[in-house]
Amino acid sequence: MIGIQKNRRLLVLAAGATALGATPIGYAQTAARPAEIKLGITLSMTGNNAESGRDSKRGIDLALEEFAQANRFKGTKISLIEADDASESNRAVTAVQRLATEGVIGIVGGTVSNAVRAALPMAQRARVPFVVVNAFTPKLTDIGDMVFQVSQPTGEFNKAAVALAARKFKPTKAAMLWAQDNPTTVGFRDDFIEALKIAGIPLVVDEPMKALDSDFSAQLRKAMNAGADLLLPNFNAAQNAAVIKQARSIGYSPKTLGHVGDMSNSFISAAGKEGVGHVANSAFFPGGSSAPLKAFLAAYSAKFNMPATGPAALGFQSMRLAGEAIGRMLDQGQPATPENLRIALGNLGQQPSVMGGSGTASFVNRVLQYDGYTLILDENLKWQEWK
């Protein structure tokens, strides 16, 4: 009886302390739910990669709309503060500087690797979490603990595609034309070289070029004369298509293998029928069967009256992760700060995913992990899974 009375007195004292604004021993500190949270968005809405940037923004908007419909933030408004980096490094740095001064809790963005790599150190110094939407360069998270990469580096996907092409095509020699001034294609080159060595396919032509080159005829003639029956164009999607078309125009018809960037409307539009049989890889494939993917495809088509692309899926996935982290932070009564968002992102665990075939993904060392597909372009200019 004495113990019960003592416990009651402690509860009264605790209640009184709370009423006076003090935090009793053993009670968690909580923050009032904010009326508004600012979230930065930086994408290439203009410039050479505007198509991908706009697709990613549509994916972000769809995810935010679904959160609102589900009342995930329970009255807190998520306001997007937007900046256009135009795929230019200087503009990307300026965009992050501006967003950090405007009090954003975090940044979701990135359309191309060059601009992302330039901007991430600024976000790290400002201590603002940056969720990378669309940049496949490895080791971005080495820049610091504020970097979370949703666009998983595709090294293993590239190697799997080469291994499958080696089994299916049985090539005897390979040639690669690649952009030496793009960190993503430089990384892809390393993947391809390693995979070719494992498959026992000699790389007889290895031609470094520039990201904006448009005439590949001399290099293609060199590959044709060397007897390369597997050609790896390693530029952006439009350039890869140009490489294939120029090869066909000089009577050179090797099997061709590209990368995740070719999974775009720009590649199909530029290559046309001459792209039939081209092999690429992607973690996003509309023909996949997972429940989160099917739901996303239906919702995206209904909202925008167009099919979803890889950049759109990455935008959606990035916003889903950032939004869920914000929601958990608010539910736990944590102050809405960049540091608390960083912690919440790191603690998300397994989440539904529109990327990969399994329908789930999780951050491992701040890089989202999911599986990928090897794909081939069919006669109807549709990508099909290649097994």
Q: Is 206 helix (H, G, I), strand (E, B) or coil?
A: strand
Percent of the chain with pLDDT over 90: 81
Which band of pLDDT confidence, cut at 50, 70 and 90, is reported for residue 1? Answer: very low
Q: What tokens were used for 211?
A: 């990201």
pLDDT at 156 over 50: yes
How many Cβ atoms are within 10 Å of 75's Cβ, its own excluded? 9
Predicted pLDDT of residue 314? 96
DSSP line for 108-176: EE-SSHHHHHHHHHHHHHHT--EEE-S---TTGGGG-TTEEESS---HHHHHHHHHHHHHHH--S-EEE
Can you tell me the mean pLDDT for 288-316?
95
- Say if CB 370 and CB 385 are below 8 A apart: no
Q: In what order do the strands lie in the sheet with 36-43?
A: 77-84, 36-43, 107-109, 130-132, 147-149, 367-369, 360-364, 351-352
- The average pLDDT across 236-254 equals 96
Domains, the chain, ranges and CATH? 36-152+289-372 (3.40.50.2300), 155-282 (3.40.50.2300)
pLDDT at 4: 39
The pLDDT value recorded for residue 30 is 61
pLDDT of 153 = 83
- For the stretch 44-87, pLDDT in tens is 999 988 999 999 999 999 999 999 999 999 999 999 999 999 99
Determine the Cα–Cα distance for residues 290 and 66; give it in Å rounded to an integer: 19
State which H helix or E strand residue 230 sits in: strand 230-234
pLDDT category at 10 given cuts 50, 70, 90 is very low
Q: What is the per-residue pLDDT for 266?
A: 83
Do residues 234 and 259 lie in contact, with contact meaning Cβ atoms separated by under 8 Å? yes
- Residue 48's pLDDT is 84
Report the pLDDT averaged over residues 78-100: 96
Q: What's residue 183's pLDDT?
A: 81
Question: Residue 125: what pLDDT?
Answer: 97
Return d(Cα 368, Cα 136) in angstroms, integer: 11
Core vs surface per residue 298-336: b (16+ CB within 10 A) or e: ebbeeeeeeebbbbbbbbbbbbbbbbbbbbbbbeeebeb
Is the pLDDT assigned to residue 165 strictly greater than 70?
Answer: yes
The two three-digit tokens of residue 2, written as one number: 């004495």
Arithmetic mean of pLDDT, 181-190: 90
Interval 263-270 mean pLDDT: 87
- pLDDT of residue 292 exceeding 70, the answer is yes
Residue 18 has pLDDT above 70, yes or no: no
pLDDT at position 182 = 87
φ/ψ bin of 272: left (φ > 0), alpha (ψ from -120 to 50), beta (otherwise): left
Q: What is the mean pLDDT of the chain?
A: 91
pLDDT of residue 341: 98
Provide CB contacts within 8 A for 103, sequence distance 6+: 38
For CA atoms 217, 219, 222, 226, give the dihedral sign. negative
**Per-residue pLDDT band at 134 (split at 50, 70, 90):** very high
